[in-house]
Amino acid sequence: MRHWHLLIIFLIAFQFTCEAKKTGHKTQNLLWFDATANFARFSNADSIKKYLDKCATAGVTDAVIDVRPITGEVLFDSKIAPRMNEWQGVTRDPKFDFLGCFIKEGHKRKIRIHASMNNFVGGHNFFDRGMVYTTHPEWQSINYTPEGMVPITQLKKKYSAMLNPANPEVRSHLTSLWKELVSKYPKLDGVMLDRGRFDGIQADFSPLSREVFENYIGEKVVRFPEDIYEWGGSKEKPEIKEGKHFKKWLEWRATVITNFFVDLKKELKGINPKIVYGDYTGAWYSSYYDVGVNWASKTYDPAAEYSWATPEYKNTGYAEVLDLFTVGCYFTEVSRKEVEKLNESKILRTEAGMRATKDPENTVEGSAELAMKVTKGVVPLYGGLYVDQYKGDPNQFVRAMKMCRKKTDGVMIFDVVHIINNGWWKELEEGIKGSFQSID
């Protein structure tokens, strides 16, 4: 019997070794802690300890702690941004060092702690709360809608009041905030950039963006915004008609975001050379140009496969800039073959830049494979899942985690609040530690 036990231990160890050797990157399993969804629960040290114990048991190696929700407030003492000490009637003791507690207790349990901030956003449209409603309304995105130019604070169907990444004041504010955070917490393991993007294809069409774009292409845009695109189709189903500068506009927007990532990394590594520089995006690369982001490797040429890319678009790739990258494979369907069973109501997508299509890439497996393809192994990549998409189907959630582990360097789970509410700690452990059987 002793030999059988040794064989089982060997096989388990062999599986994890094979996982780690897929790309040569370290296998990691990340769990996200959203700021507002968990505000009440994690307002004291005992609760943080309790749930970090559960994380350690489940096999979580890294916790991502959100410290700047979409309002633009922060969850630490700052001289730059207001601190969020209250959310939906719950008040947090201002003396409580929320992030410091996570770092201290996480390290006791061998869990690395990454701080996340929502970047190009400064307000919550459902609560009319944030800097775009108070101190900096001029920083908000101006969206070109079928009804015309509209400030994003007036688009109440959008909960995130996004900022304009092309505004140098916005970038300066965020850079200062990141530098303050990394300086304040020298034991922090990593940073994770979230919402490092434009709002969508409608953003940003402010006079400032027009001026910066004209400087980029070296000429005036005679018909603005029509030379970028104009709206056609019907009122019920509006469609974009590309203008003469449309593709160059996409290239410019990606340049804005990539330059921010490059410049910010230099600043943060100057403070702490060991800080892990991470990023989160959606995995649907084929349409992610909508939000002005090219997270591929510079050695990948999207123009060879996609009509929307210029020959120069590949130069905006920023995968090489990152130390860690997680992509949201936010699809209920796990394997490619499952997509054919979908009906039309189930292909509707709500994430930024998504398309409502029946495509094998719109699965956990397909999107993970696409992400690995375009990043070309230059950065450790972790497939991400939105737990609430699997509500009522824990087995599918477990399969999705295993697929992420099989196809990428590990898994990122968003968010701990759904694990807690569903009571899925055993499922989390099985998804992180279990074998890859019965997932294809």
Q: Based on the structure, what is the number of domains in the chain?
A: 1
Q: Report the pLDDT value the prediction gives residue 175, as an integer from 0 to 100.
A: 98
Q: pLDDT digits over 256-291, tens only?
A: 999 999 999 999 999 999 999 999 999 999 999 999
Q: For 190-337, where are the E strands, in sequence order?
A: 190-194, 229-233, 238-242, 276-282, 324-328
Round the average pLDDT of the chain to a whole number and report it.
92
Identity (one letter) of the amino acid at 132?
Answer: V
Q: Report the pLDDT value the prediction gives residue 354, as an integer from 0 to 100.
A: 52
For residue 206, tell me if it sits in a domain.
Answer: yes
Q: Report the pLDDT value the prediction gives residue 6, as an integer from 0 to 100.
A: 46
Tell me, what CATH number does 195's domain have?
Answer: 3.20.20.80
Q: How confident is the model at residue 241 (pLDDT cuts 50, 70, 90)?
A: very high
Q: How confident is the model at residue 25 (pLDDT cuts 50, 70, 90)?
A: confident
> Is 424 a residue whose pLDDT tops 70?
yes
Q: pLDDT digits over 289-322, tens only?
A: 999 999 999 999 999 999 999 999 999 999 999 9
Query: Are the C-beta atoms of residues 203 and 164 closer than 8 Å to each other?
Result: yes
What's the full length of the chain, in residues? 440
For residue 438, tell me if it sits in a domain.
Answer: no
For residue 1, tell me if it sits in a domain.
Answer: no
Q: Report the pLDDT value the prediction gives residue 194, as an integer from 0 to 100.
A: 98
For residue 186, tell me if it sits in a domain.
Answer: yes
Under DSSP, is residue 209 helix (H, G, I), strand (E, B) or coil? helix
Mean pLDDT to the nearest integer, 156-168: 98
Q: pLDDT digits over 340-370, tens only?
A: 776 444 544 455 545 556 688 999 999 999 9
Packing angle between helix 425-433 and helix 45-58, nearest 10 degrees?
40
Mean pLDDT to the nearest integer, 331-339: 91
Mean pLDDT to the nearest integer, 166-194: 98
Which residue segment(s) compose the domain that 413 sits in?
Answer: 30-433
Whole-Å CA distances, 158 to 33, 34, 152, 350: 22, 18, 8, 11
For residue 99, tell me if it sits in a domain.
Answer: yes
- Between 390 and 10, where is the model more confident? 390
Under DSSP, is residue 358 helix (H, G, I), strand (E, B) or coil? coil
**Cβ neighbour number for residue 9 with a 10 Å cutoff:** 10
What is the separation, in whole angstroms, between the first and last Cα of the chain? 32
Q: Report the pLDDT value the prediction gives residue 23, as an integer from 0 to 100.
A: 62
For residue 23, tell me if it sits in a domain.
Answer: no
Of the chain, the percentage scoring pLDDT greater than 70 comes to 90
For residue 290, tell me if it sits in a domain.
Answer: yes
Tokens of residue 236, six digits: 């019920």
How far apart, in whole angstroms, are the C-alpha atoms of residue 400 and residue 398?
5
Q: Report the pLDDT value the prediction gives residue 339, as an integer from 0 to 100.
A: 81
Identity (one letter) of the amino acid at 367?
Answer: S
> Mean pLDDT lowest for which of 208-222, 241-255, 330-344, 399-413?
330-344
Q: How confident is the model at residue 135 (pLDDT cuts 50, 70, 90)?
A: very high
> Mean pLDDT lowest for which of 124-128, 219-223, 360-364?
360-364
Q: How confident is the model at residue 141 (pLDDT cuts 50, 70, 90)?
A: very high
How far apart, in whole angstroms, are the C-alpha atoms of residue 190 and residue 117?
12
Q: How confident is the model at residue 188 (pLDDT cuts 50, 70, 90)?
A: very high
Q: pLDDT digits over 382-408, tens only?
A: 999 999 999 999 999 999 999 999 999
Q: Report the pLDDT value the prediction gives residue 342, as an integer from 0 to 100.
A: 62
Q: Report the pLDDT value the prediction gives residue 347, as an integer from 0 to 100.
A: 45
Query: Are the C-beta atoms of residues 276 and 288 closer than 8 Å to each other?
Result: no
Q: Report the pLDDT value the prediction gives residue 439, as an integer from 0 to 100.
A: 78
> Is 10 a residue whose pLDDT tops 50?
no
Mean pLDDT to the nearest integer, 75-82: 98
pTM, entire model:
0.92
Of the chain, the percentage scoring pLDDT greater than 90 comes to 87
Angle at Cα 417 formed by Cα 414 and Cα 421, nearest 5°? 125
> Is 435 a residue whose pLDDT tops 60?
yes
Instruction: Count CA atoms within 13 Å of residue 217 on its CB side.
Output: 21
For residue 153, tell me if it sits in a domain.
Answer: yes
Q: Report the pLDDT value the prediction gives residue 40, as an integer from 0 to 100.
A: 98
DSSP secondary structure letter of residue 331: -
Q: How confident is the model at residue 11 (pLDDT cuts 50, 70, 90)?
A: very low
Q: Report the pLDDT value the prediction gives residue 350, as an integer from 0 to 100.
A: 52
Q: Report the pLDDT value the prediction gives residue 355, as an integer from 0 to 100.
A: 54
